[in-house]
Amino acid sequence: MSPDTTSVVELNDLTKRYGDVQALRGITLRIAAGEIVAMLGPNGAGKTTSLSLMLGLRRPSSGDVRLFGLPPTDRRARSRAGVMLQESGAPGVLTVRELIALFASYYPAPLPVEQALAMAGLEDKAAARVATLSGGQRQRLYFALAVGGNPEALFLDEPTVGMDIEARRAFVAGIQALAGAGKSVIFTTHYLREAEELATRIVVIDRGVVIADATPRALMARVAGKRVSFTVAEPLPADAFAGLVISALDVSDGRVRFLTSEPETALRRLFARGVEPRDLEVAGADLEEAVLSLTRRPEGA
Q: CATH 3.30.70.100 spans which residues of the chain?
A: 224-284
Q: How much of the chain exceeds pLDDT 70, in percent?
A: 96
- Note the pLDDT tens digit of each residue in 96-119: 999 999 999 999 999 999 999 998
Region 283-291: mean pLDDT is: 83
Task: Identify the weakest region by mean pLDDT among 131-135, 254-258, 259-263, 295-299.
Answer: 295-299
Q: Which fold has domain 7-220?
A: Rossmann fold (3.40.50)
pLDDT of 298: 52
pLDDT bracket for residue 1 (50, 70, 90): very low
At residue 96, the pLDDT reads: 96
Residue 2: predicted pLDDT: 45
Residue 26 scores a pLDDT above 50: yes
Q: What was the pLDDT predicted at 208?
A: 94
Looking at residue 132, the DSSP 8-state letter turns out to be G
Cβ–Cβ under 8 Å, residues 138 and 86: no
d(CA 32, CA 44): 26
Please report which confidence band the pLDDT of residue 300 belongs to, taking 50, 70 and 90 as the band edges: very low
Q: Is the pLDDT of residue 54 over 90?
A: yes
User: So what's the pLDDT on residue 297?
Assistant: 61
Reduce the DSSP state of residue 89 to 3 states and report it: coil
What's the Cα-to-Cα distance from 285 to each of 211, 253, 290, rounded to whole Å?
19, 21, 7
The CATH T-level fold of domain 224-284 is Alpha-Beta Plaits (3.30.70)
Compute how many other C-beta atoms are within 10 angstroms of the C-beta atom of residue 255. Answer: 13
For the chain, where do the domains classified as CATH 3.40.50.300 start and end?
7-220
For 19-34, give the DSSP string: TTEEEEEEEEEEEETT
